[in-house]
Structure 1
Amino acid sequence: MLNKFELEKRVTDAFLRSKGLIQFKLIKPEGDPPDIIAQIGDKLIGIEVTLIHSNQSQLRLEKNYSKIFIRVKELLAKSGVNNLVIRVEPEIIKGLHREKCSEVIANACLGNLDKIGFNRTELVMNPFLGIKKIVAFRAVEEGIIITFDSRSNSYGPLRSSRIESVIEGKINKLNKAKQEAPKQHSLLNENWLLMTIEGTFYSNYAGVADDRISIGLKNCYDRVFVYHERKNWIQELEVMLNAV
């Protein structure tokens, strides 16, 4: 199992390559922040890596459905299905019956295999309490992928308010680190903040709501990015001081 630094190194490597960079070296810093030091040419860039979530209620919802989706994969694999993408639009309820939900999703796919092609196919609406809709399509590569439906309004772009709170927290952390270890930080040419969306259910996100972010603190990061690990898109944010 990868440790914290190895995980951050992996995502930073993927991010830099997505930016078109090939020649670079990733170094473990003496302190935190930054999480990673990237040597790019003659520059040393401190990169703070953080995973960004939309909100806590969504995290709880995903935790519940992740167990359902694992069970669906097991049921479909037993039936010989091995190249399907399934998207479920959930609803937030208490007392979710996980096993029944798993069976409903699997049966909806198995009962409609003959009409599922490479285009998005709507299978069923409101089949069971906790599920609003199930859609599916064939995958080119072998494997079963189950996510939330990207057309659900609950899983739209990442909201500016969530991004703002993450940036402000990281600014406070970096300013404190600079005060405690000024010599170490003086060696860095730039500081970047890299907010990542991991390749789980967040693969549905197509971007952020606004790439101009207004915060209540002076920004100490030279560049701020949001990076999608699975889809490899990058959005650089313009971070401004809120004048109000």
Structure 2
Amino acid sequence: MKKAFSDEDLIKNLSLYYLNRHLKKKPIEKYHRKIDESPLHDREKYKKKAEILLLNSFMHHFPEVKFEDLTCESPDFIAKFNDKKIGIELTEVINHLEMKKVESNLNKIFRQAEILLEQEDTTKFRGVYFLEFHSNIKLDSLENQQEIILNICKSIKKGKPIGNVKGIRKSFHRRNVFITHEYNMNLFDELCSEKIVELIEKKNEKFPYYDTSVDECWLVIVSDMNSIASRYTFIQDKEHLQKVKSPFHKIFHLENLCGNITSIK
């Protein structure tokens, strides 16, 4: 039976994080090995590995934090910090809900295009390709999706945008073909602080059910800046975050590209 997520999928996920030049590779690799050794289902292993990647910037701010339990559920991780047992609950804030499904469909299309190009000639086409699409792109049918896949493959082969592809940029990668979205940011793309407050309130409701053996429980809210559904340029009405009440001992908002962190509590 084919695994839901392969090592190759994980390599591609790691490749995305090469954009963050401060990736703490040694601890990340060590934590990934520990997750691999666990009895978790493959899908859960992949999820945990992706979560640890999101926490890479957090590790720069708290280098003394040592993760001890990577496979627990409530909270997501248990770590040691200053001789204390810390529970770390991780959650992602989605800035553009309407883009989440679009992004999910595009990622599936990227994966299919990657497979086709690697089957043809991995050595010739390997690299990281940043694609921008025309605004009228349609993902509503298999026929349209197949057309987009063909346009992507042709654009990569010819080194110029074709069909649905509006722009293409290539960066070096020594192993595989990796396709992702072009990183274009709207200068006025705000993240409403209310979305962060709503997330905190939802997590507050679950707090009584978290592991009671920890000395402290921290909530880390991440904006995945490599996702078009999560990225933002500034937090609107940031002062509202300082009025938040929560049983969590510490609350942080983290963006995982430049590593900017905001202490909410």
Q: What band does the TM-score fall into relative to the shorter chain?
A: 0.5 to 0.7
Aligned equivalents of 2:158, 2:73: Cα separation in 1: 55
Aligned length in residues:
216
Identity %: 18
More strand by share: 1
Q: 1:153 to 1:164 in 2, by over 3 A?
A: same
Give 2:235's aligned residue: 209
Q: 1:150 to 1:158 in 2, by over 3 A?
A: farther
Aligned equivalents of 1:201, 1:155: Cα separation in 2: 17
Give 2:66's aligned residue: 24
**Range 214-223 or range 133-142, more displaced:** 214-223
**Unmatched segments (≥5 aa) in structure 1:** 113-122, 240-244
Q: What displacement does 1:54 show?
A: 2.6
Of 40, 44, 54, 1:3 maps to: 44
CA RMSD of aligned residues (A): 4.0
1:172 aligns with 2:205: yes
TM-score between the two structures when normalised by the length of structure 2: 0.62
Give 1:118's aligned residue: none
Give 1:85's aligned residue: 129
Q: What displacement does 1:221 show?
A: 2.7
Q: 1:194 to 1:20 in 2, by over 3 A?
A: closer
Aligned equivalents of 1:162, 1:62: Cα separation in 2: 20
Q: 1:208 to 1:177 in 2, by over 3 A?
A: farther
Give 2:105's aligned residue: 64
Q: What displacement does 1:101 show?
A: 0.8
Q: 1:93 to 1:154 in 2, by over 3 A?
A: farther
Q: What displacement does 1:99 show?
A: 0.8
TM-score between the two structures when normalised by the length of structure 1: 0.67
Larger radius of gyration: 1
**Unmatched segments (≥5 aa) in structure 2:** 1-41
Aligned equivalents of 2:174, 2:161: Cα separation in 1: 24
Aligned equivalents of 2:225, 2:201: Cα separation in 1: 24
Give 2:145's aligned residue: 98
Aligned equivalents of 1:192, 1:153: Cα separation in 2: 31
Give 2:86's aligned residue: 45
